Structure 1
Amino acid sequence: MQLVEAVRSKSQPLAEDYCRHYDKVAERFDYHPWQAGEWERRADWLASTHSERAPRDSMIEVLTAYNLKQGNDHEAVRQSLALLAQEDTLVITGGQQAGLFTGPLLVIYKAISIIRLAREASATLGKPVVPVFWIAGEDHDFDEVNHWFALTPQLAVERYRLEHPTGKREAVSRLDFDSWADALAKMEEWLQDSDFKPDLMARLREFADVSRTLTDYFARIMGWLFGAHGLVLLDSEDPALRRLESPMFRRLLADCDELNRCVLDGSAAVAELGYTPQADQTPGQANLFFYDDNGERTLLYRDGDGFTNRKRTFRVEKAELERLVEEEPWRFSNNVMTRPMMQDYVLPVLAVVLGPGEIAYWSLTREAFHRMGLWLPIIKPRLEFTLIEGTVHKNMEKFGLTYDAVMDQFDDFRQEWLMDQGQYEVEELFSETRRRFLELYRPVMETVASLNPGLAKLGDTNKQKIVEQIEYLRNRAADSLQSKFSSGLRQLDRIRLSLNPLSKPQERVYNVFAYLNRYGSGWIDELIVTSYDNDGKHRLMFF
């Protein structure tokens, strides 16, 4: 394995400046991500405020039960939980929705980032720091998690998707699936035969047999990949966790008006810095979700002394919500603005690992954090990689194609290469033929028009037919040329589809199992232990 840095601008301008020009955005955060001493400053603050978070013994009880339930019972996980029971142990966390077969590669890179940073922080502070992956099982955006993509042998990027089992706006962790058979059959079809395939498919079937929901399936796979590295899993929709979160839900509900104002102020401050706020905020938004009597997860809005949904199709009094938050806390969940604060209440968060969009989200929350008596934790960008397989790399060298050229100039390069194979001469020949024909035909048109004006239209029609025949022959010649050089074109297309599928970074499209199938899981372990900085830079990994 070889790692090479690649200078790529992030898709989110605020996140780009966070990583490259922190001073531009420093006022939106509480800790400098690259400055010495910040680990210690955050650790000291956590030590001084430990009594304001959820009881540690209750938190350990919830995490232990959940990881045992999901089979994440590795010795390293048990050790992480034992360390977390100590009052001075801190946490590096980060999270993602529970995607089918783990979703895109970036999920894997986030887990790697969390594990590596926990080790780095522990070495720096001289105290235990445990990696915790926060599964966003409370999210109801099913279209975000119900699919995965694969590059087929026919060089097509194909998608498999699950159908929603109920059609209701329910948290992903509440959606039961009767069978994973179709998804497993498609995975087996799309994976090429390899030494690793039988074991992979056996594991996926084993996990499917004991998984009721997408979150269950996701947790089983993540535990298998990362449990040996001590990664502790947490499901934000876990009913036991909801009971632990009840006091914080009570605070968020009681202060929702001021918190909404804080988020609106944060959004305005981000806009004043010249960035587009990542999330839409409206006055009256409570930034909490609630399960109504129909079992639908709906965002709450203030309505006088009570609350309603966006369409005002139901209403609930504040006193009733205050009762339910005590007696039925599982009917509440966080939105993107309150989840960071809930995370800080549940866990002693030293630092959080975020993607570019998440960094932009969190930049809106500083005032809200302070309102709740919290500080934003240290924010570290997740690691970014593009995996470049040996054959693809060999062909890139053959064509003299760099990674940047593939990402930014591929279509131009492909066309220029084809021209160099002879298409330029063909194009020139037909262009010259067309020009000379039109030049020779002009006096003919002028002569027939002078003899009989009615012949001008006929002459023009005749001219267009001849031009169309020239163009027809030109297109056939171009097709023949492409067929002649189809092998080279296929190699070029394989490069593009490997690195920039659907005109998106590889890590946002492809699933990890194609690479596990070809190379095993050793490369994941190497990415965890190899020495390199978590500096927000993109890296190319050559197999």
Structure 2
Amino acid sequence: MEVESIPFKNTGYFSDLICDYLEGKDSLQPFYERLPGIEQFKEQIAVKQSFPDTHRKVLYTVLGDQYKGIQMSGNTKVNISLLQESSTFTVVTGHQLNLFTGPLYFLYKIISTINLTKQLKFSNPESNFVPIYWMATEDHDFDEINYFNYKGKKLQWNKEVSGAVGPLSTDGLEAIYDAFSNEMGNSVNANRLRELFKKAYLEHDNLTEATRYLANELFGEYGLVILDGNNPELKQLLVPYVEKDLLENKSFKNVSSTIGQLQTLSENYGIQVNPREINYFYLIDGVRERIVERDGMYYVNDTNISFSKEAILDELAKHPERFSPNVVTRPLYQEVILPNLCYIGGGGELAYWLQLKEMFMAMKVAFPVLLLRNSALVITGKQKEKLQKMNIGLSDLFLKQSSFINKKIREISNIDIDLSAQRKCLTDQFKDLYELASQTDASFLGAVKAQEVKQLKGLDKLEKRLLKAQKRKLRDQVSRMTDIQNQLFPGQSLQERNLNFSELYLEYGQRLIPNLMKALKPLSGDFTIIEME
């Protein structure tokens, strides 16, 4: 296995906001507490030392209940037990309950989290660090999770649903299992995948249980702890913060203020999420709808449910599990119930976390370190050999396809199709004409300028025609180049956003996750390219 890397900024796939954050740009400092680094984590440990023991006890008890009937590894048992101790801290990643893990980056998120806990333990042997996977069981975006891609095909679970996805019955997944099974063949690795899907989805009653089983099977041996935040005991710890949202619109005011500050920094900093006056849903069987306030009454959107101020506070006190955080308040919930140091997420996630620091300060909750998850491109030895034969550098592959083809055609063409020299010569000639015109009749300057623009445009057109002609002449080379890029960047996007881990597992089997564990370095700050034999 060979591992190379390139800066995230050079891939062209990460936003200006995230690239500036990774570079530690001074203007962004007000939007986070500290950047990820070994010394900064020591500071974060000191800050989180005040995490309440009462919250630890609740967390430990809830995890014990959630793991009943689950075959835990020794490492996971130890980690859950360690959460009772004041010297234990967590590193968290979260993800939706995508069918069969969804995109490949699900693995990269969890591996980044596990590997960071190992690195922190090495640097801080007096403390303990537990990797947490937060299951987004309360999400209701079924269309975002009900499929996975396999060898260019979309295997989709079609089902009429409403409410949170976690409690969804797994009925109907037999058809997906059959379709998946029929595509895979009968290799040893295919049979393992087949059995994993079957046990996860056909032998568990709902999506929460199925996802917990799947993540535990893949990562349990590394001590991963899987948490479902949809729990009344955990939600009880959130009650004071929900009250502030219901009565004072505190999240809305603070996040709106931060958005305004971010927008003044750069027009390229797109806003990831917009807060609402109330950032909680009302959650009961089959329903997860927004809570809105009008004239002192609280209504559950698109239902007949309503509460007076006194009634909704009573409902919150008696049934905190019915109040479900949205994308703005879920991070706050996480930090309230976990002794957490760091959240690991993708670029989009970190972008909305950077909108939240002011809200955390107003709520008097410590803001975690934010770390961009590892991103990777996995290539086979055969693919690497093809790239070398075609003299394609790894960085070339990240170019948009038209730019990639144009660059390589210019390199391999036996004629010079770069007319820069001719443009310079033409520009120099027009300098003489400008001087001549100014000495004779200045009114000719406009005519000279128009002629210069016309002739430069003519050179541009000629260059494009030359390039097009060379593409036709070298169409076999173009075809081979685009084929290899399309293999590695399916849909002209990052591999990790399209492929499901099953395609790599078919190739590498039980070596896949251990190899990824070795290759991915969470604090490297670079995009990783892994040649896996």
- Aligned-residue offset at 1:309: 4.9
Partner of 1:265: 257
Question: What corresponds to 1:83 in structure 2?
Answer: 82
What does 1:367-406 correspond to in 2, within 5 Å? 367-406=358-397
**Is residue 75–residue 228 contact of structure 1 (8 Å, CA) maintained in 2?**
yes
C-alpha spacing 1:18/1:540, structure 2 compared with 1 (3 Å)? same
Select 2:290's aligned residue among 274, 299, 309. 299
2:155 to 153, 160, 171: 160
1:100 deviation in Å? 0.5
**Residue of structure 1 equivalent to 2:398:** 407
Determine the C-alpha separation between the residues in 1 that align with 2:387 and 2:214. 33
Note closer, same or farther for the CA distance 1:223–1:258 as it changes in structure 2 (3 Å cut).
same
Q: Is the 8 A contact 2:282 2:300 kept in 1?
A: no
Is 1:97 aligned to residue 87 of structure 2?
no
Q: Label 1:255 to 1:418 Cα distance change in 2 as closer, same or farther (>3 A).
A: closer
Q: Are residues 1:356 and 2:347 paired?
A: yes
- Deviation by residue 1:232-269 (Cα, 9 ceiling, x = unmatched): 001223xxx23222231343233441221111111112
Alpha-carbon distance between aligned partners in 2 of 1:413 and 1:46, rounded to the nearest angstrom: 47
Aligned ranges for residues 40-439 of structure 1 at < 5 Å? 40-50=42-52, 55-69=55-69, 71-126=70-125, 127-151=127-151, 157-166=152-161, 168=162, 170-237=163-230, 241-256=231-246, 257-274=249-266, 275-282=269-276, 285-291=277-283, 295-309=286-300, 315-411=306-402, 413-414=404-405
Name whichever of 23-32 and 243-252 sits farther off.
243-252
Distance in 1 between the 2:190 and 2:99 partners? Answer: 18
Report if the CA contact (8 A) 2:104-2:499 is conserved. Answer: yes
1:398-438 alpha-carbon deviations (Å, 9 max, x no partner): 2222233233143455578899999x9xxxxxxxxxxxxxx
1:273/1:421 CA distance change after superposition, 3 Å: closer
The Cα of 1:531 is off from its aligned counterpart by: 7.6
Deviation, 1:26, is 1.0
Q: Which deviations, in whole Å up to 9, do the C-alpha atoms of 1:316-337 show, x marking residues without a partner?
A: 2232222222222222111111
With over 3 angstroms needed to count, the CA separation of the structure-2 counterparts of 1:344 and 1:199, relative to structure 1, is same
Measure, in 2, the Cα distance between the counterparts of 1:419 and 1:370: 54
Give SS of 2:18's match: helix
Match in the other structure for 2:468: none
SS of 1:137's partner is coil
For residues 10-61 of structure 1, the C-alpha deviation after alignment (integer angstroms, 9 at most, x for no partner) is: 4322111111234231110112223x5322222122222425xx53122112
Structure 1 window deviating more from structure 2 (358-367 vs 497-506): it is: 497-506
Task: Give per-residue Cα distances to partners, 1:295-328, cap 9 Å, x unaligned.
Answer: 4211222223232356797532232222222222
- Paired letter, 1:259: S
**How much does 1:273 deviate?**
1.9
Matched position secondary structure for 1:175: coil
Aligned partners of 1:150 and 1:510 also within 8 Å: yes
Shift, 1:112, TM fit? 0.2
8 Å CA contact retained: 2:88, 2:128: yes
C-alpha distance in 2 between matches for 1:118 and 1:398: 40
- The letter of the residue matching 1:190 is E
- Matched with 1:37 is 39
C-alpha distance 328-409 of structure 1, shift in aligned 2 (>3 A): closer
Distance change >3 Å, CA 327–CA 146, structure 1 → 2: same
Aligned AA for 1:392? Answer: Q
In 2, Cα distance between equivalents of 1:530 and 1:401: 23
How many angstroms apart in 1 are the aligned matches of 2:378 and 2:205? 32
User: CA offset at residue 533 of structure 1?
Assistant: 5.3
Contact 1:94 1:110 (8 Å CA) reproduced: yes
Query: Partner residue of 1:440?
Result: none
3-state SS of the aligned residue for 1:174? coil
CA-CA distance at 1:500 after TM superposition = 1.3
CA pair 192-390 structure 1, distance change in 2 beyond 3 A = farther
Q: Which residue type is aligned with residue 242 of structure 1? A: P
Between the aligned partners of 2:100 and 2:333, the Cα distance in structure 1 is 27
CA contact (8 A) 2:236 2:320 kept: yes
1:356-398 C-alpha deviation (Å, 9 max, x unpaired) = 1111101111111011111211111111101112222222222
Does residue 536 (structure 1) correspond to residue 530 (structure 2)? The answer is no
SS at 1:196 equivalent: helix
Q: Distance in 1 between matches of 2:521 and 2:241?
A: 41
Residue in structure 2 matched with residue 433 of structure 1 by the alignment: none
Distance 1:399 1:347 in 2: 51
Match of 1:501 among 490, 511, 518: 490
CA shift, 1:140, in A, is 0.5
Q: CA deviation at 1:180?
A: 1.8
Instruction: Name which of structure 1's ranges 530-539 and 356-365 shifts more when overlaid on structure 2.
Output: 530-539
Alpha-carbon separation, structure 2, partners of 1:349 and 1:420: 51
Contact kept? 1:307, 1:315, Cα under 8 Å: yes
Q: 1:128 to 1:287 in 2, by over 3 A?
A: same
* Aligned CA distance change for structure 1 residues 140 and 37 (closer, same or farther; 3 Å): same
Letter matched to residue 3 of structure 1: V
Per-residue displacement from partner, 1:168-192 (whole Å, max 9, x unpaired)? 2x11102112132111122223335
Does the 8 Å contact 1:287/1:337 carry over to 2?
yes
The question of 1:7 aligning with 2:10 is answered no
The whole-number CA distance in structure 2 between the counterparts of 1:499 and 1:47 is 44
The corresponding residue for 2:501 is 512
- The CA deviation string for residues 463-493 of structure 1, in whole angstroms up to 9 with x for no partner, is xxxxxxxxxxxxxxx99997xx5xx676544
Alpha-carbon distance between aligned partners in 1 of 2:258 and 2:400, rounded to the nearest angstrom: 38
* Equivalent pair of 2:281/2:289 in contact (CA under 8 Å): yes
Distance 1:481 1:359 in 2: 43
Q: Contact 1:300–1:308 (CA<8 Å) still a contact in 2?
A: yes
Q: Distance between the aligned counterparts of 2:407 and 2:86, measured in 1? A: 63
Query: For 2:130, what is the secondary structure of its paired residue?
Result: strand
Structure ID, larger Rg: 1
Q: Aligned in 2, Cα 1:216/1:252: closer, same or farther, shift over 3 Å? A: same
Task: Pick closer, same or farther for the CA change 1:310–1:535 going to 2, 3 Å.
Answer: farther
Distance across 1 between alignment mates of 2:144 and 2:42: 37
Q: Identity of aligned pairs, percent? A: 23
Cα deviation for residue 64 of structure 1 reads 2.3
* Structure 1, unaligned runs of 5 or more: 152-156, 425-477
TM-superposed CA distance for 1:131, in Å, is 0.7
Q: 1:321 to 1:511 in 2, by over 3 A?
A: same
- Separation in structure 2 between the aligned mates of residue 404 and residue 76 of structure 1, nearest angstrom: 39
- TM-score, scaled to structure 2: 0.81
Letter in 2 for 1:343: Q
State the shift of 1:195 in Å: 3.1
